[in-house]
Structure 1
């Protein structure tokens, strides 16, 4: 029994989705063929089920690096091996709008939790196989799917540095969020596989605009579909390798 998520090994599948939002966790679980509620301890809402016979788990992690770190460490103690974050983000790019989805190829490390695992110079990058599956599934959904660099930070309401923001925008940073750097760094350090798909909920000029509420929900639904299809693809590829 893990301290915070209060689960046992039989409760957790090798393939795990880690959204921040608890409602999003339920939406992901609704895509399972069979889903059972496992736990809601300490802000982690956990469901386990199957997708076409493949065992999968979803665990909401709340907001920020520390929650992600504790959650994925304990999930991995119980057998989790592949993590896909299904999150939300803002954007710096004028060609991205609310409802678009973004698959990060790497993350600027503006948070602090991951520094306890690897030094700041170590890149926060997803697993290539997970990234490839997410990119191909995202692009198959049509326009409004972007692939590129994201940025993570710890303090949502802190006053940002306009000069740094301008540099990031010029460098093509697409998404601003709070968890991917931690997930990617810990996964690299521990030998797990991880990736992410994000639904944009704010433009380069407006944070979470009311006019974009439905567009974001549509993008969230799309991101969930991409993540589930990508995870199924990853699991099937694992099965093929094991059988070879």
Structure 2
């Protein structure tokens, strides 16, 4: 049996495991998978864990939705997308945390990415740097419509996806306290260019999915305000989680309840 038809090497899942799910929610942290699955679905079932990829099925509008962690950063995200596509997933939504770099974006607000700056290296293995990292319009518009309908604070913008948590996001609280010259002043430059936030996966997700003809979107909760400090505030996570769960449940509930087109 070919790998495409059977159990995938890294995620440890096969086509039969996901029960025909076409949508996948992709948190980075394996520890967040159970809460996310339970938070968006009427019921949720654990599938298992292989490496950094913890997987559950959530049932929304009586349809299965896969929740699978990607691990931290772009390389493992690309691996997860490739293998999930092999077993039939066509729509991918990254769900994670982020640091805002615009003063009007507050703690626990949601940022829905319409595109991403390719500060990571993984996407260049799929397309040249001139190729844009752009989210799927229809899927992203559904998330925005849900956030508006629920009156949840949100922002639609361009995300900067870095390969590193510290230097690439111009954090001076790293081990050495030093940031390479090419990153010094970079946060102010991205702010001037109206970039909304830093994270580490969206650019790879958007690029990989676009080159494969798949749909991708990204929603992140703000747990750091970089215009104020480099501090991450874990207490902002709970409200952000409530907000993205509500947006995702509404979005997927509506999309999965639609009658299939003839």
Same fold (TM over 0.5): yes
* Aligned twin of 2:123: 114
Task: Specify the alignment match of 1:27 in structure 2.
Answer: 35
- How many pairs does the alignment contain? 239
Candidates 143, 163, 176, aligned match of 2:185 = 163
Q: Deviation of residue 20 (structure 1)? A: 0.7
Q: Secondary structure at the match of 1:137?
A: helix
Counterpart of 1:6 (choices 12, 21, 25) is 12
Query: Structure 1: which 4+ aligned runs deviate by more than 6 Å?
Result: none
Q: 2:175 aligns to what?
A: none
**1:143, distance to aligned residue in structure 2 (A):** 5.1
Describe how 1:177-216 pairs up with structure 2 within 5 A: 177-203=199-225, 204-209=227-232, 212-216=233-237
- Is the CA contact (8 Å cut-off) linking 1:106 and 1:124 kept in structure 2? yes
Structure 2 CA distance for aligned equivalents of residues 45 and 17 of structure 1: 12
Which residues in structure 2 correspond to 1:16-165 (within 5 Å)?
16-30=24-38, 31-142=40-151, 144-158=153-167, 159=179, 161-165=183-187
What are the Cα deviations for residues 133-168 of structure 1, in whole angstroms up to 9, with x where unaligned?
011112223252111111101011222623332121
Contact 1:89 1:177 in 2 (8 A): yes
Secondary structure class of the residue paired with 2:133: coil
> 2: distance between equivalents of 1:50 and 1:220?
18
Post-superposition offset of 1:227: 2.0
- Normalized per residue, the structure richer in helix is 1
**TM-score normalised to structure 2 length:** 0.86
Backbone CA RMSD of aligned residues: 1.5
Q: Distance in 2 between matches of 1:172 and 1:162?
A: 18
State the alpha-carbon separation in 1 of the partners of residues 237 and 195 from structure 2: 20
Query: 1:228 — aligned with what?
Result: 249
CA drift of 1:34 comes to 2.8
My pick for the range that moved more, 29-38 or 89-98, is 29-38
Q: Deviations over 1:49-100 (max 9, x none)?
A: 3112111110011110011011111111111010111111101101112111
CA contact (8 A) 2:26 2:93 kept: yes
Tell me the TM-score normalised to structure 1 length: 0.92
